[in-house]
Amino acid sequence: MSNNLPIIRFVFDRRKKATDKVTSSVELEIYFSRNQRRRLSTGIKLYAGQWDDKLHAINRTDGILINARLTEIYKRHEQVFYDMYAQGLTATWENYELFIKGEVKKEIPTSFLSYMRKRIEERGLRQSTKISQIVALEALARFGKIDSFASLTSANIAAFDIFLRTEDPKRSQATIHNYHKRIKVYVNEVYALEYIDRNPYDRFNDKRGKHKPRKPLTSEELKILREANLTGKLDRVRDLFVFCCYTGLAYCDMNTFDYYKDVISEGGMQYIDGERIKTGTSFLAPLLQPALQILEKYNYKLPSISDQKYNDYLHVIEEKLDFRKPLTSHIARHTFATTVCLANDIPIATLSRMLGHRHISTTEIYAKVMDTSVKRYAERLNGII
C-alpha cells in the first residue's frame, strides 16, 4: 500500500490469552500513525497454534475458506482508503468513519489526465521527478486521444507509443520506455481504484531499450565553448553549462546552488559540500578555477533558468558552434567526469565521491568511454618494457 495510506494488517491474540482450550480474536488493525491506530473485530476466533503470524493467515483444516473471508475484509477496507485518497482526504479514523457513513460524497475524477495532474501535485515528489512526470502528462495531452478513463485502452497506449516515435524520431527506446513508466504509475492507481476495468498495460509490450552512449565534450570542444563570443541569454546559458563541466553538478543541483551555504574552504581550496536533489546522497566537489571565474562574473549568484529553456538554448549554442554532438544538461556532468577528471587520472573512487554516486559501479560507466587514459598508460608501459 502507498506510504500515504494507512497500514492494514491482521493481529491475533493481542492480549496473549489464547491456549489449546481458550480462543482469542483475530482483529484487523489499521495503523494511521504512531499516535493513531484502530482495531476492528473480524468475528473470527482461534485457539493457540491456529494462526501463522508470518503469513498472517489461519493454519487449520478449514483455513482456506476463513482466509478467503479475511482477504475479502482486507480488500474492502483497503478500497475505502484508496477511494478516500483519490478524493484528497487525509487518512484519519474520523474521516474514515464519515466516509463509510456516506457523509463525505465519493466523487470520481472527471478524466485520467485530471487525475494524473492532481496526483503529481499531491505525492510530494522531488522537483526533478515531478518535472519528468509533468513532461509525460503533457505528452499525453498533445497526443489527444487519451483523456477519459474509457479512453485508457491497450490500442490507445499503442497509438501513444507510435506518437512518441513520430513526434520526435530522435527519441530512443529507453526514453520512450521512461514516458510509459511514468504514466503507468497512475494507470495502475486508477485500475486499483476500479475506475477502469482492465489495465491497458497488461496487453502492451513496453520494451526497456538501451540508452545511447552520451558523448562528452573533448578538451578542444570545451576550450572552443569557453572562448566563443556569445551574448545575452546564450552567454549566460554557456556559463552555466561550463560551470557544471567543472563541478559535475546536475542541472537541478546547479539551479539550487548557493555559494554562501554550500561552499567550504580547506587547505587553500574551495569545495561544494552538498547533497544531490535526485538521490539525497552527499558529494564533495572541488571549485576549480574555471568555475570560480564564472561565479566571480555573476557576483557569486548564478543566473536561474528553467530546465526546458536551458536545454533549448544549449541546442542553439550547439548549432552555432557547429558541434557534431548534442548539448544537453547532463552532457556537462558527463564532461566533468570524463574530460576533466578521468582524462587527468582522477581515481574512480574519488570521482564517485565528487559526483555523489551511491555505488561506484555507476561511476565506472563513465570510464568505459575513456580511451585517452588507456593510450597514455600504454605509451608509458611501452617505454618501461
320: amino acid identity, one letter: K
Summarised one tens digit per residue, pLDDT across range 157-192 is: 999 999 999 998 888 888 899 999 999 999 999 998
- The residue with greater pLDDT, 194 or 272, is 272
What's residue 2's pLDDT?
47
Residues 207, 177 contacting (CB under 8 angstroms) = yes
What's residue 54's pLDDT?
73
Residue 135: left if φ>0, alpha if ψ -120 to 50, beta else—which one? alpha
* Mean pLDDT across the chain: 86
Confidence of residue 311 (pLDDT cuts 50, 70, 90): confident
Which whole-number Å values give the CA distances from 373 to 269, 344, 354, in the listed order? 26, 8, 19
Q: Is the pLDDT of residue 3 over 50?
A: no
CATH code assigned to 219-382:
1.10.443.10
Confidence of residue 240 (pLDDT cuts 50, 70, 90): very high
Confidence of residue 134 (pLDDT cuts 50, 70, 90): very high
Please tell me the pTM assigned to this model. 0.56
Which whole-number Å values give the CA distances from 16 to 24, 46, 58, 249, 371, in the listed order? 8, 12, 17, 56, 68
The arithmetic mean of pLDDT across residues 125-152, rounded, is 90
Q: Is the pLDDT of residue 209 over 90?
A: no
Closest by Cα among 360, 311, 355, 335 to 246: 335
Enclosing H/E stretch for 25: strand 24-33
What's residue 156's pLDDT?
95
Phi, psi dihedral angles at 270 (to 5 degrees): -110, 145
Confidence of residue 1 (pLDDT cuts 50, 70, 90): very low
Strand partners for 9: 29
Which residue's entry shows cell 491506530?
Answer: 37
Summarised one tens digit per residue, pLDDT across range 63-114 is: 788 888 888 888 888 888 888 777 767 778 888 888 877 766 555 677 999 9
24-33 sheet: strands from edge to edge: 7-12, 24-33, 36-46
Q: Is the pLDDT of residue 243 over 70?
A: yes
Confidence of residue 15 (pLDDT cuts 50, 70, 90): confident
Strands (DSSP E) found in 248-308? 263-266, 269-275, 282-286
Burial of 213 (0-12, 13-18, 19+ CB in 10 A): exposed
Closest by Cα among 214, 278, 218, 220 to 249: 278
Summarised one tens digit per residue, pLDDT across range 293-305 is: 999 999 999 999 8
Pairing mode, strands 7-12 and 51-52: unpaired
What's residue 90's pLDDT?
76
Q: Is the pLDDT of residue 212 over 80?
A: no
Phi, psi dihedral angles at 281 (to 5 degrees): -85, 150
Summarised one tens digit per residue, pLDDT across range 317-374 is: 999 999 988 888 889 999 999 999 988 888 889 999 999 988 888 787 776 655 555 6
Report, in this order, helix, strand and coil percent for the chain, each rounded to 5.
Answer: 50, 10, 35
Q: What percent of the chain has pLDDT over 90?
A: 42
The least confident of 142-156, 208-222, 342-356 is 208-222
State the Cα–Cα distance between residues 9 and 56, nearest whole angstrom.
8
